[in-house]
Amino acid sequence: MKLGLRLAAGEEDAVTECFREHAALVRAYLRHFVPPQDVEDVSQVVFAEVWRCRGRYDPARSLEGWLQGIARNRAIDYLRARPPAAVPLDAAPEPSEDLDLPARLDQRDAVRRALAGLPAAQRQAIELAYYGQLTQREIASRLDVPLGTIKARTARALHRLAALLDRAAA
């Protein structure tokens, strides 16, 4: 019997199997929201809720999506319960005098133009790695392509970006 069906039916070992199969996915998802030292704790809360709410799972829907929805909600609860980080004003560093906002904005625009000049597959690999903060293994899994392909796309994209940025600077 499929894991989702067993989970919805309330089988006791289904949550254990669900944890074994999907704990890495849940932890990877939580890393985007929760500080690294708390990911494991929030993950445990997620799977406790999976056990409590297993009767609400609809086996016709994605088990991974359902787990990520629970993980997102528990991450939000965790973040809301934390006191806001406060730094005493006298401990805050003085702003650096050499911050040149217009130059940084020009640089950002140059990177965006260079990214737009990449082939779509290379641009997607770079955007998922740097803006999506995914590992190459996670990118390969998400795009359903071999890990070596993602490594090659990323390497080619970085070389091409460097060349495009050098040309733009000249």
Q: Is the pTM of this model over 0.85?
A: no
* Residue tagged 């993602």 (tokens): 150
In a domain, 87, yes or no: no
Mean per-residue pLDDT over the chain, rounded: 86
Task: Tell me if 94 is assigned to some domain.
Answer: no
Closest by CA to 143, choosing from 127, 163, 157, is: 127
Asked if pLDDT for residue 18 goes beyond 90, the answer is no
Same domain, 135 and 75: no
DSSP string, 79-119: HHHSPPP---GGGSPPPPTT--HHHHHHHHHHHHHHHHTS-
Q: What range defines the domain where residue 116 resides?
A: 100-169
Mean pLDDT to the nearest integer, 6-10: 81
- The count of domains in the chain is 2
Give me the pLDDT at residue 75, please: 93
Encode pLDDT of 88-141 as tens digits: 777 777 766 656 777 777 788 888 888 888 999 999 998 888 888 888 999 999
Examine the domain organization and report whether 117 and 66 are in the same domain: no
Under DSSP, the state recorded for 129 is: I
Same domain, 68 and 110: no
Residue 151 CA to residue 139 CA, distance in Å, equals 10
Residue 77 and residue 130 in one domain: no
